[in-house]
Structure formats: C-alpha cells, structure tokens
C-alpha cells in the first residue's frame, strides 16, 4: 500500500504552490471586493495550464489525471479559493466533452478552454429544479437546422462572465430521457444575466441566465438527442472530489496560520500553544483534515484507474466543505481579533467555503448516494 505521491507529482505541487502564492494570493481579497472575475486571473492560470488540465494534449491541454487536477485545485485554493473554480468548472466541462463530443466538436471547443480564450460555465440548475435536475423545464425548440433555447438557469457559477456553456434543455418528453446537452455561445443578444449578491465567492459571478430564444445549430448537440442528462451527470462524481480538495486547501492554510500564531502569541508568560484549550482543537482538526484528504484522493485515484468511485466522491463532497468551514471557524477563533479583522483572509475563506456546502450537491444528496451504494437501493431511502 503506497501512500506517497510520485516525485513528479510532488514537483508539480510545489510549482503550483509557488505560482499561486506569488500570482494569485495578492488578489484574493481585492477580487472579492470588486465582485467580478478579473480577466488577468484567467490569463495567468491558462498560462501554466490550469484551465486545460483534463484536456487532451492534441487539443492544447495537459491531459492530466484526476489526481493531478485535484492537487492543482488544492494548491490554488490555499492562495485564492475562488480561483479554484476555474479548475473545477473547466475540468468538469472538458471531461464531459472529451467523453461525449465528436472529434470535430472537441477540436473546435476544447482548445479555447485550454488557452483561456473562453471561460466555460455549466448550466443545469433552474429556479424550480436543482437537486431534481431530471425535471428541468428549459426548452430546446426545433428551429430550422437547429434549436432555440428558452427558459431560465440559475445559480450558475461564472455565469456573469462566461463566454460559453454546456446547457441542459428539454428536447423530448418528461424525465431524464427527454433532456439533451448543448454547447452554447452565450450571445447576450438573446440572454439576460442577473448576478447574485452573495455572502462569499463574489468574484466568481454566480448568476441567473434567462434565455430568450437563443439559437444553437445542430452541431451544438453533445451526444445524441435525449442523452444529455446521463452523459453530463456521469462527470459529477470525480469533480466533487476536486471540490473537496479545494475546500481542504483553504482549511489547511488557515490551520497553518493558526499553528504559527499559537507559537508566536504569548499569554500569561507562555506561547498560547502550550495551553490545551488552544492546542487540542488544532490537533483534532489536523487529524480530520488528513482523513478527508485521503477520501478525496482515493476517489480521484479510483477515477484514474477506471474504478467505481461514486461512494468516495460523495463522501468527499459532504464531508470536506463541512469540515473546512469548521476548521476555518476554529482558526479564526484561535487568531482572535486578528482573525476577525477584514484585513485577514480567514473570514473570507469561511464565507467562501460555506458556498460549497450548498453548491454542486447538498450533503443530504451525497449521503443518499452513499447510503444507496452501501445498503443497496431497495434498502435505502
């Protein structure tokens, strides 16, 4: 049983950490205050291949494994949690396209993602259909040699600034079999975007998108008609483990800061780390973080090796964001008035990771997946 990363993987981790600390960290809090995606962020991340990690080399990507994508997200999130969304979304979207799009479609759509020329989004959630996505109501109505998209998508990550999107819309009858997937240029002549004023992750531009007959050609169909739901949902398992690692990256850097503060800060003539009330919570959370990281990386390792990984990914998705929020909260308390100050990034990290306790599948849904896999569908909720 080998728990070590390869030398190449460790070298890559160090490279991404250096880049993130130097290039991304200085903008983390200012980007949040600006509440919009900074174009230079996309350019910088594309410049070292972070937007093309899961894209084949022939299309300008890195052709990296799922473990490497998770490692990159974890390191980027240490410096700028919200920058990790560019890895998460581009990895998820490009993985779906690589598995389901034709060679011609991949050649047209993947290189601009890898180069940072376009920012992709993923449009599934609707005002009345989030978890129960198979009941979505957005229509793709036939129009000549294509379709027109009409309806609303909401809570779309990067929705305020994305150039293209993978959009699920109904082309047939009720249920999952009536849903198709389309690769769509987000032409604002047929689209109204409404940005959310969120508690955290403000720079990623979560938004509602109202489609008013946006035209898409027949060549925009991904996979067969009526196959969109199944082909798209298969990609979520491993991306949820990447989300988990991004949350744990933010938690780990907060813990590192709290540990250093426990060494430096003195009270009653001693470093505060000498007091059990300070040291023990940090020790406990260091233990939990290590366990959660193992779950996340196991899910990604299983993905890379062609093994079933839905249980592990669901464990990662419900546990890691929840744990990260708890860890960061404790670190803020350890730092005291310094942690509570807006000058410290700890409070922003707390606000940011809470969003992923909600987004991309709630804890209840993850536990449902785990229970059904453990018990069997007939014996679970």
Q: What predicted TM-score, i.e. pTM, was given to this entire model? A: 0.96
Residue 212 has a pLDDT of: 97
CA distance 286 to 252: 8
- Domains, the chain: 7-118 (1.10.540.10), 121-227 (2.40.110.10), 235-379 (1.20.140.10)
Q: Which residue positions in the chain have pLDDT lower than 50? A: none
Residues belonging to the chain = 381
Q: Phi and psi of 267, rounded to 5°?
A: -145, 135
Residue 77 has a pLDDT of: 98
- Helix (H), strand (E), coil (C) string for 189-235: HHEEEEECCCCCCHHHCCEEEEEEEEEEEHHHEECCCCCHHHHHHCC
CA distance 10 to 157: 30
CA distance 88 to 81: 11
Q: Is the dihedral of CA 299, 357, 75, 19 positive or negative?
A: positive
Residue 261 has a pLDDT of: 98
Cα dist. 4→1, 10, 189, 200 in Å?
9, 9, 51, 34
Residue 360 has a pLDDT of: 86
Single out the residue of 353, 336, 319, 332 nearest to residue 254, CA to CA: 332
123, 209 Cβ separation under 8 angstroms:
yes
- The token duo for 219 is 């060549």
Residue 292 has a pLDDT of: 98
Beta bridge partners of 142: 147
Cα dist. 205→110, 119, 330 in Å?
22, 12, 28
Residue 19 has a pLDDT of: 98
CA distance 308 to 237: 10
- Give the number of other Cβ atoms within 10 Å of residue 103's Cβ: 9
Q: Is the dihedral of CA 209, 213, 215, 220 positive or negative?
A: positive
Residue 233 has a pLDDT of: 78
Residue 100 has a pLDDT of: 93
């Amino acid at each position: 049983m080998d728990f070590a990363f390869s030398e190449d993987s460790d070298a890559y981790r160090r490279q991404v950490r250096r880049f993130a600390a130097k290039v991304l960290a200085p903008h983390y809090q200012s980007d949040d205050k600006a509440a919009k995606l900074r174009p230079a962020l996309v350019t910088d991340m594309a410049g070292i291949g972070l937007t093309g990690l899961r894209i084949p080399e022939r299309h300008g990507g890195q052709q990296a494994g799922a473990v490497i994508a998770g490692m990159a997200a974890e390191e980027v999130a240490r410096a700028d949690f919200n920058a990790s969304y560019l890895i998460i979304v581009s990895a998820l979207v490009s993985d779906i396209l690589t598995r389901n799009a034709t060679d011609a479609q991949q050649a047209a759509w993947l290189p601009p993602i890898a180069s940072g020329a376009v920012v992709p989004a993923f449009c599934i959630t609707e005002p009345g259909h989030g978890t129960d996505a198979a009941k979505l109501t957005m229509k793709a109505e036939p129009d000549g040699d294509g379709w027109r998209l009409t309806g609303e998508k909401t809570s779309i990550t990067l929705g305020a600034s994305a150039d293209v999107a993978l959009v699920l819309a109904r082309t047939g009858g009720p249920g999952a079999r009536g849903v198709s997937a389309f690769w769509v240029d987000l032409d604002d002549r047929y689209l109204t975007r409404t940005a959310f004023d969120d508690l955290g992750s403000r720079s990623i531009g979560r938004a509602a998108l109202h489609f008013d007959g946006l035209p898409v050609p027949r060549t925009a169909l991904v996979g067969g008609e009526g196959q969109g739901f199944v082909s798209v949902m298969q990609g979520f398992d491993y991306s949820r483990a990447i989300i988990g690692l991004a949350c744990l990256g933010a938690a780990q850097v907060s813990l590192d800061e709290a540990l250093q503060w426990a060494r430096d800060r003195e009270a009653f003539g001693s470093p505060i780390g000498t007091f059990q009330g300070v040291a023990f919570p940090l020790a406990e959370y260091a233990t939990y973080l290590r366990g959660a990281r193992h779950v996340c990386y196991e899910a990604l390792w299983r993905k890379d090796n062609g093994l079933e990984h839905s249980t592990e990914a669901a464990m990662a998705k419900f546990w890691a964001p929840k744990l990260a929020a708890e860890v960061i909260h404790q670190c803020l308390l350890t730092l005291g008035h310094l942690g509570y100050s807006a000058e410290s990034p700890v409070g922003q990290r707390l606000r940011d990771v809470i969003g992923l306790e909600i987004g991309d599948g709630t804890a209840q849904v993850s536990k449902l997946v785990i229970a059904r896999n453990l018990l069997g569908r007939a014996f679970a909720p």
